[in-house]
Amino acid sequence: MPGGAPDRTASPAAAPARPATGRAGVDSYALVGTALALRGAPYRNGGADPKGFDCSGFTQYVFNQYGVALPRAVREQFQLGKSVKPDDLAPGDLVFFATTERGPSHVAIAVGGDEFVHAPSSTGVVRVEHLGSSYWAPRFLGARRVAPATTH
């Protein structure tokens, strides 16, 4: 998709991190690290593992590594957690876009700053892009925080 960041690939066979434990929440930096380690994994419609991901399969897989169960569909993920204002985005928040239809049709994971990581179909691999790009900014719908985050 146009306007994205340069492709920053890593081995898609990276081992998933162990689930966070305790009531304090999910280590958002570890969760983002797991997502980033999957850069370069191929896009596969209906995919939900490192052999191939679609957007919601990617977010579901990453969050599952930390004991957070997400539903499979983008629209269902959009109903979870609490709404986050764009200025309050934190690493590990889910970000949603309207790409193929009205309403949420694409989901990604906020990395920090202006960046997010996702499984876009047109580029064929999990990659990092910018929220403020000419493609993504007008399609941004909102963000959700689905798990209490810890940062240490």
Q: Which domains does the chain have, with CATH numbers?
A: 26-150 (3.90.1720.10)
Cα–Cα dist 41/58, whole Å: 10
Of the listed ranges 10-24, 33-47, 103-117, the one predicted with least confidence: 10-24
Cα–Cα dist 94/121, whole Å: 18
152 annotated active-site:
no
Catalytic residue (choose from 32, 37, 55, 119): 55
Residue with the larger pLDDT of the pair 137 and 6: 137
55 annotated active-site:
yes
Catalytic residue (choose from 39, 118, 144, 145): 118
What are the φ and ψ backbone dihedral angles of 128, each rounded to 5 degrees?
A: -100, 140
The pLDDT of residue 16 is 38
Tell me whether residue 26 is exposed, middle or buried, using C-beta atoms within 10 angstroms of its C-beta: 0 to 12, 13 to 18, 19 or more.
buried
Cα–Cα dist 44/31, whole Å: 22
pLDDT digit string, tens, across residues 79-103: 999 999 999 999 999 999 999 889 9
Q: Report pTM.
A: 0.82
